Structure 1
Amino acid sequence: MAVQTGYLKYGTTGDSQIIDITEDVIGLVSSSGIGNGIVTVFAAGSTVAVTTLEYEPGLIHDLQQALERIAPLDIEYKHNERWHDGNGHSHVRASLLGQSESFPLIDGRLLLGTWQQIIFIDLDNKPRSRKVVVQMVGE
C-alpha cells in the first residue's frame, strides 16, 4: 500500500469564490503512480470548503445565493463580537459544507460523474493564499 501527498496552492479573492480544481487534482493523481485506492481532497482552513458540483455559471451563482440565504453576511454572529473580523458567516458556511471529500481511484482514474467537478470555495471575507492537500492511498 502506497501513500502519496500533493499540495495545490491558490490565491483567492474570498467572498465565496468557487474554483474548479478537478484538473489540478487529476494531475496529482496521474503523477502519483497509484492505480487503485482512494483520493482525499482536504482544504486546510476554517473558512474554506471542498465539495462537488456541475461547474457552470448558473449553478455557481445558485450555490453562492444559497449560502447567502443559509448563513447571511449581514446578521449577528458571536464570532464577530469576539474577534471583530467580520467573518462569522464564513465559518458557519465552511462548517456546513465541510473541508474534505474522498473519491475512489480505479485503474488510474478518479471516479467522478459525467458533470461532476471538484470545487474549492474560499468563504472568507478577504483575499488569501490557500492550500489544498491531496492524499492518495492505494496500490
Structure 2
Amino acid sequence: MTRELFSVETDARLTTVDVTDRIAAAVPADLESGTATGFVEHTTAGLIVQENESRLRGDLESFLRELVPDEGHAHDQLDGNADSHLRAALLGPDVTIPVEDGKLALGTWQSVLLVECDGPRTRTVSVTTVGE
C-alpha cells in the first residue's frame, strides 16, 4: 500500500477541477493490478468520476445550486457555508478506480473531478493505492 498527497488550488465558490492526471501520477510504476482511491480531506469538497466537458461541468454546478439553496440553513448561523457542506455530502469525499497494467482503468470519457463547494481554497487530496 502507498499513500501520496497533492494540493489543488480552486478559484471560485462552486467549481470543478480535473485531477485525473494527478491521481494517475500517484500510481506506483510497479503496480500492475489493484486500486487507487482518491480522498479529498475536507468537508466542503468532493470527488466524482464524470466526463470532463465544460458544458457538462457547468450543468453539474447549476444542478448542485438547484438542489441546495445558497441560504436558509441552520449551520449558516455559525459560518455561512451550510450549502457547501450539503453539496459535498451529496457528492462524497472519495473515488476508487481499478488499476490495470499500471494505469487507471477509466472509461473513454471518464475523468476524476474535484468539486469545490466552498472556494476559493487550497484542497488536499490523498491517493492510496493497493495492489492485488
User: What's the Cα RMSD here?
Assistant: 1.2
Tell me the TM-score normalised to structure 2 length: 0.94
CA contact under 8 A between 2:29 and 2:102: conserved in structure 1? no
Corresponding residue number in structure 2 for 1:22? 20
Of 45, 50, 54, the residue aligned with 2:47 is: 50
Amino acid of the residue matched to residue 36 of structure 2?
V
CA distance in 2, matches of 1:96, 1:102: 17
How much has 1:60 moved relative to structure 2?
A: 0.6
The residue type paired with residue 9 of structure 1 is S
Q: Please name the residue that 1:34 is paired with.
A: 31
1:79 is the counterpart of 2:75: yes
Instruction: Quote the Cα distance in structure 2 between the aligned partners of 1:61 and 1:127.
Output: 17
In structure 1, list runs of 5 or more residues that go unmatched: none
Point out where structure 2 has 5 or more consecutive residues left out of the alignment: none
Moved more, 106-115 or 9-18: 9-18
Secondary structure class of the residue paired with 1:78:
coil
For the pair 1:123 / 2:114, whether they are aligned, the reply is no
Q: Secondary structure, in 3 states, of the residue corresponding to 1:89?
A: helix
Contact 2:14 2:116 in 1 (8 A): yes
How far did residue 32 of structure 1 move? Answer: 4.8
Alignment partners' CA distance in 2, 1:41 and 1:14: 22
Q: Normalising by structure 1, what TM-score?
A: 0.90
Q: 1: CA distance between counterparts of 2:25 and 2:34? A: 16
Following superposition, the deviation at residue 34 of structure 1 comes to 1.4
Cα distance in 1, alignment partners of residues 19 and 103 from structure 2: 15
Amino acid at match of 2:42: G
Calculate percent identity across the aligned residue pairs. Answer: 33
Query: Secondary structure of the equivalent of 1:103?
Result: strand
- Report the Cα distance in structure 1 between the residues aligned to 2:24 and 2:91, rounded to whole angstroms: 22
Aligned to 1:104: 98
Cα distance in 2 for partners of 1:110, 1:24 equals 11
- 2:60 maps to which of 54, 63, 69: 63
